[in-house]
Structure 1
Amino acid sequence: MSGYYLLKNGEFAYNKSYSVGYDFGSIKRLDRYPMGALSTLYICFVLKRHESDFIKAYFDSLKWYREIYMISAEGARNHGLLNVPTEEFFDTKHYLPENTDEQRKIANFLIAIDKKIAAQQSLVDNLKKYKRGLLNKVFSNINGNIYPTVYLSEVADFLQGLTYSPSDVSVAGYLVLRSSNIQNGVLSFDDCVYVDKKVDESLQVKCDDVIMCVRNGSKKLVGKTALIPNNMAMTTWGAFMMIIRSKLNDTYIFHYLNSQMFFSQVFKDMGTATINQITKGILNECKLPLPPETARKQISKMLSSFDVKIQNAEICLTTLVELKKALLQQLFI
């Protein structure tokens, strides 16, 4: 095979393509396969000395970016590739401990953290998979019981969001919940927009409301939801969002809106429109099983407790990932 580099297991390759979070590309070691073919645009190399696992961790830290910055001319970017001369790349200087025993100890410590992260990620994935199974079981024939079905519009109201202009945006005022405020099924406040205008009481969220993204350029964002956990003062929602306000005294509707039964009804006729959307008309046609109140509350409590388990597992995962990131920044000069 001509025109490619043959990279063997344990060897490294520098990808000069830049992307978000990788302003000067990335260097990775081939681990999963015995060998692989790479474009000649990559810079490939094998170590003469040093612990391979330690060097892998070093390149994950991005501390080597300082050296690449010095040899990549400002503005010398072409089709997403940095202009990094191969000879100058190999002339870069890196400050590493010479003692291989020390390198091995550091590498073993980081490998242990990686294993912990992988195990925690597996736990999160399995919990989510199990939750999907629970939802599918609950919203079909609940425990083998056949409950009457009702239209969603019989047990919930659908409230369209606030329309505002750029001139209304302010540093303070009413918080406008948008699709970016829903992350992994819960509210996130990393990206907030406020408006300085009068908002009618009917357009202010209430505890146990369900906020849903009903219109977006990305189909994968349409239909994602979060539960309003408490009475949030001075909080409304944007025009591409919708509040689904349950008439039932529980969170049963919220869990239904995350089930395959709901999604199969909503997306069955959606085409390839530029902006995908869920309309009131679509929601009016959705049906769901409606158990008696006692059974609904038991179902809601069970599913909500499982959501808490998933959220706690995700928090633990994020903490581990951030811990490793901080360690990598401190380990290398």
Structure 2
Amino acid sequence: MQWCVRFKQSDGSPFSNWEEKKLGEVFGFKNGINADKSKYGRGKKFINVLDIINDAPIYHDSIIGSVEITEQEFENNDVKYGDILFQRSSEIREEAGQSNVYLDRNKKATFGGFVIRGRPKISFNPVYFHNLLKTEAVRKEITNRSGGSTRFNVGQDSLSEVPIVFCRSIEEQGKIANFLTAIDQKIEAISHYIDCNEQFKKGLLQKMFV
């Protein structure tokens, strides 16, 4: 895999070469909890598939679902800053194993049985890894390992075998993460500008063609 765009250190020198590992060397994986249906709708914030497929990173207050569990269950199945959440199954192969990152530093959450939690074994910038896992090369490695006929599934074992190429320098990871975040912010601002103008146009049309 060739990487054409590289950042440099503050003194202008290049960062160290990128390295290849398997996801199982970077994350420890765990499946989520399955509670009785009467327990949902109250209690601890509960990450499910809808939170994962949302484009925005996950924060405690943005989680819609909740579940009533014991404190011990919560401690055994907690989600904290930097954890990566993977979608276990989908009717479409290309959507199996989609991921999102939890970026709330202040509050923990829990996660459901259709989700796999990846907890970092090494130090890294979570925004950097969030974007890395969405690249075409990594997504292809994940979906190629999904199995099933009517639904396509990925498990802890298959995720553990996915190869990734990444930079080990936290400084370079930060530069890449900040660069991509700035682009996302520009896209969001432009989208908001377009939405406002579309609403403005609709208002004009209603007044002009009554």
Query: TM-score, normalised to structure 2's length?
Result: 0.73
Q: Secondary structure at the match of 1:175?
A: strand
CA pair 282-249 structure 1, distance change in 2 beyond 3 A: same
2:17 and 2:118 map into 1 onto residues whose CA distance is 25
1:214 and 1:306 map into 2 onto residues whose CA distance is 29
Where does the alignment leave 5 or more consecutive residues of structure 1 unmatched?
1-138
Q: Secondary structure at the match of 2:97?
A: coil
CA pair 219-154 structure 1, distance change in 2 beyond 3 A: same
Q: What is the CA RMSD across the aligned residues, in angstroms?
A: 3.3
Where does the alignment leave 5 or more consecutive residues of structure 2 unmatched?
7-15
CA pair 233-291 structure 1, distance change in 2 beyond 3 A: closer
Structure 2 partner of 1:197: 69
1:62-73 alignment, distance < 5 Å: none
Structure 2 partner of 1:249: 124
2:104 corresponds to which of 215, 230, 236: 230
Structure 2 partner of 1:299: 176
Deviating more after overlay: 182-191 vs 235-244: 182-191
Query: Deviations along 1:62-107, whole A, 9 cap, x unmatched?
Result: xxxxxxxxxxxxxxxxxxxxxxxxxxxxxxxxxxxxxxxxxxxxxx
Q: Secondary structure at the match of 1:173?
A: strand
Structure showing greater Rg:
1
CA pair 208-234 structure 1, distance change in 2 beyond 3 A: closer
- Tell me which of the two structures has the higher relative contact order, counting C-alpha pairs closer than 8 angstroms and 6 or more residues apart: 2
Whether the aligned pair in 2 keeps the contact of 1:212 and 1:241 (CA below 8 Å) is yes
Query: TM-score, normalised to structure 1's length?
Result: 0.49
Structure 1 partner of 2:49: 179
2:30 and 2:195 map into 1 onto residues whose CA distance is 34
AA aligned to 1:141 is W
AA aligned to 2:125 is D
1:159 corresponds to which of 27, 30, 43: 30
Whether the aligned pair in 2 keeps the contact of 1:141 and 1:147 (CA below 8 Å) is no
Residues matched between the structures, number: 193
Structure 2 partner of 1:309: 186
Query: Deviations along 1:263-295, whole A, 9 cap, x unmatched?
Result: 121122445522212211111111122323133
1:277 corresponds to which of 153, 156, 171: 153
